[in-house]
Amino acid sequence: MTSGDVLAVAFPRIDPALLWSAGSAARHYARPVFASPPPRYLHRTLHLPGRATVELELFGPPRSRWLQALLHAHRNPAEAARRFELALEGLRLSPLPHPDRLLTPEFLRTRWEQAGVIPYRHQLAAARRVIFELGGRAVLADEVGLGKTIESGLVLHELLLRRLVLRTLILVPSGLCWQWYRELRDKFDLPVELQASERDWGRVPLLVASLDTAKRSPHREEVLANPYDLVIVDEAHRLKNDRTQAYALVSAIRTRYLLLVTATPVHNHVRELWSLVKLVAPTQALPAPPRARSALAGHPAAGRLREAVHFVMIRTRRADTPVPFTGRHVHTIAVHPTPPEQALYSALDEHLLRAARASGRVDHRTLVFLTLKRELCSSPHALAESLRRMVRRGRPELEELLAKASRLSTWAKADACARLVRRLGDDHVLLFTEYVATQRALADRLAALGRPVVLFHGGLTPMQRDWARGVFERTAPVMVSTDAGAEGVNLQFCRNVVNVDLPWNPMRIEQRIGRLHRLGQTRDVHVWNLIARGTVEEYVLYLLHQKLDLFRHFIGQIDAIVEHLGSLSRLEQQLTRLFARSEQSDMTGEQIRQALHQLAQEWQQLLENLKGNARRTSPDGRH
């Protein structure tokens, strides 16, 4: 070393990744990883006797034990100089890695062999791009099942090895805290802890916590009081609305590096994508996206958003990887409602029609009744629970409907599920429903077959979620889950998923299937969709699945979505308004089908454009 060199230390051991200066040390020992040093907590000057004067910069909490030990050694200049000379000589003799080579795979080779972890090429490529190209701020948006948690762990471990990270906060849905804790402990051997008290925010250097907890007082104040080097947010599509408390919290956290992890960065509208980009790249000059109806594909805002997406988002599709995925087979089971169900559906229709004609327009009451019809398509139990709440809130005119729904103890879809479970034998079966009342009633019906049944819902604690998964794998071959089980649960040992009712958002359907159809699945996956004939559900199936190949073409085409900013308005809203208008004007089934056909043709043309863009686009999404 020569006089004037700068030696930066962030841990007890000197690391070449934190050496930078204009002197010889920087040229010999390191390539700067960031343009400017992190915030300085302490500063000392170390004199190497007879050799040079070296500026020593220390980074870290002033009260940490290693820093106190280092300052104590500094009181003996000769001993401190000897130790640093030895450390620098060791660095000089050690071969330097390639500038873009990850250190983690070699460091964790033995650990991964024991844990059965196989890092795939696309996961390593994503981690390299986050660290060496994107400056540690990115949206990891691989398709469902491609291992985004492993990619996040790679980035975290690599930054720790390079001494670029001292404090890390991982914010996830409450049900996924335990899973993240296990993954980082078992696969990356990291001393991670789960947040349990208000003191943990400032005490624990590597913390996994619930986003819902963090956004509430007094935890919010504690989170914002502490600076972090890295923040990871899982299921980041929950931040799609920039007017929520969760979004405000993440945008206000002081952090150098930020990872947003989501398989579905866009659910309904391109503004959701814009919100994520603004979090990761707050200094990017991005105007708010224009209204969907007034925007055009060539609108300047679409071009600027497209550039920003390239700048911060990493999106890998299954087709872009050499990983052999098993097949996916989608089956539709048409269920004919029983006569009592048909009578209840007709009675609900009459109430809806009267409400629509009384208001003369599509209003809140019309949309409420449309929701009730969707609940009845799931089960009379789901409808009865909603009607019971409405009656208690002062809607006595619904008591007759409530009485009819309460009298129905069984329904056609329950019988169809029972037949399907019997047909699949001892094979694992995962059944999804949007409604807790349907879940409970369906579990009772299936348990009557003599098969153990386990429930999975949002009210389970992390430990209970882990327990339910284990029971499903080893003891109970049937699981009935709400959409809480569509996020963050890995169920590759199962190959059959049943959609008892269909969400109107195709992204949510893909999330459900992604619990099974992911890395580690060794068998073809079968998707069974139950559709109630002669109901609003049948028309939704017609649009989503017979006319639109959303599973294979729409999901994943983020660049194309941005390019067609004006064409992609809210699909779920379009469906809701169409059916609300149909009830108001008493449209026939054939008229509804024709309207859906026209809507489907518009979306089919858009999908053809998406496919054309995909063929003209290179694998990394760049032209």
Residue 116: the pLDDT is 85
List the structure tokens of 283: 């200094």
Give every residue of the chain whose pLDDT is below 70, as ranges. 1-99, 266-270, 283-306, 353, 355-367, 486, 506, 540-593, 595-623
What b/e readout covers 362-398, taking b as 16+ CB neighbours within 10 angstroms?
Answer: beebbeebbebbbbbbbbbbbbbbbbbebeeeeeeeb
DSSP for 430-479 reads EEE-S-HHHHHHHHHHHHTTT--EEEE-TTS-HHHHHHHHHHHHHT-SEE
Residue 457 has, within 13 A of its CA and on its CB side, a CA count of 13
Find out whether 241 and 276 touch, Cβ atoms under 8 Å: no
Question: How far apart are the C-alpha atoms of 328 and 517, rounded to whole Å?
Answer: 8
Find out whether 347 and 355 touch, Cβ atoms under 8 Å: no
Asked if residue 218 has a cis previous peptide bond (ω within 30° of 0), the answer is yes
* pLDDT (tens digit per residue) in 105-127: 988 988 898 888 888 999 999 99
Residue 83 has, within 13 A of its CA and on its CB side, a CA count of 12
- The H or E element that residue 573 is part of is helix 571-585
Identify which of 532, 534, 546 has the alpha carbon closest to the alpha carbon of residue 599.
Answer: 546
Number of C-beta neighbours around residue 298 at 10 A? 10
Question: How far apart are the C-alpha atoms of 150 and 164, rounded to whole Å?
Answer: 19
Residue 184: the pLDDT is 94
